[in-house]
Amino acid sequence: MIKLVVNGSKGRMGRAILGLAREDADFSVVGEVDLGDDINAAAAGADVIMDFSLHSATLGAARAAANNKAALVIGTTGHSADAKKAIADAVRGIPVVWAANFSTGVNTLFYITRKVAEILGPGFDQEIVEMHHRLKKDAPSGTAERLAQILADVKQRQLKELARHGRAGIVGERTPDEIGIHAVRGGDVVGDHTVIFAAPGERVELAHKATSRETFARGALRAAKWVVGKPAGLYDMQDVLGLK
C-alpha cells in the first residue's frame, strides 16, 4: 500500500486525484494539504507526495518530501526558471516525476510525433492545430509548443526560426521547413491537438483529444506508483511510460 499525500487537495486536480486514489487498492491517502495547512506534518510517513497546487507552493512540497525521504510527483505548472532550479536543488536526494502533462495519450503523441517526423522526413509539410475552451488565456498551448519543439529537434533546427503562428493576408507560399502552429478557441473543449504531415498526394494526421481532466489524474497516479522506490533523480512522463 502506497501512503499518499496530495498538496492542493481542494483544487480541481487534487480532488480528481483523491477520488481516483480512494478507489485504488494500491493507495492509502494519509494527507490532504491545501492553503494554510502544514505540509511538513502531513508528510511524515508518506511514501509519495503529489503536488498539484500553485507554482509558489511547490518548493515547500519539495522540501517536505526531501526531509521525509518520500518520492514526489510534480504536476503544478507556471514556475520561473529560478523556481525550477530551487526545486531541483531541494529534491536531489529523492526520486521525482515532474511533468507539465500527465496524460498517457499526450505523452504517446509526443513519442509517435518524433517517430513519424523521422520516418517521413523533409518532404512533408508540418502543421499543428490545437483547440481549447473559450476561457483559456494563453496560446498556443504548452502541449502544442512541446510538439513543435519535437518537430524542430528532428529537423535539428531552432524552433524560433521555424515557428509560423497562424497566417493572414498575402503571406506568400509556404516555406518547406516552417512549422505552422494554430490555436482554435471555443466552447468547453478540454484539449485537442493534431499534428499534420502533408505531402503532394497524401497526408498523415496524428490526433489526441482530452475530454476530462481525469486523464491527467490517472497519469499522475501511474507516475506515483512508478516513482516509489526508484533511485533518486528527476524523471518525466516519458520515463514512466518507458518511451525513452
List contacts with ligand NAD (CB under 6 A). 7-8, 10-14, 33-35, 52-54, 57, 75-78, 99-102, 213, 216
Cβ distance to ligand NAD smaller for residue 54 or 139? 54
The least distance separating ligand NAD from the CB of residue 226, rounded to whole angstroms, comes to 15
Which of residues 54 and 234 has its CB atom nearest to ligand NAD in the complex?
54
List residues bridging with 7 in a β-sheet.
33, 51
Minimum distance from CB of 74 to ligand NAD (Å)? 8
CA 164 to chain centre: 23
For residues 209 and 154, what is the distance between their CA atoms, to the nearest angstrom?
24
Examine the residue annotation and report whether 193 is marked as an active-site residue of this protein.
Answer: no
C-beta of 204: minimal distance to ligand NAD in Å? 26
Out of 10, 84, 136, 225, pick the active-site residue: 136
Backbone angles phi, psi at 200, to 5 degrees: -55, 125
Q: Is 136 a catalytic residue?
A: yes
Find residue 198's DSSP bridge partners. Answer: 125, 203
φ and ψ of 47, to 5 deg: -85, -35
The CA angle 85-230-42, to the nearest 5 degrees, is: 70
Cα–Cα nearest to 106, from 144, 155, 140: 144
Name, in order, each residue with C-beta under 8 angstroms of 38's C-beta and a sequence gap of 6 or more. none
Nearest alpha carbon to residue 123 among 199, 236, 40, 45: 199
Active-site entry in 79, 132, 193, 208: 132
Annotated catalytic sites, by residue? 132, 136
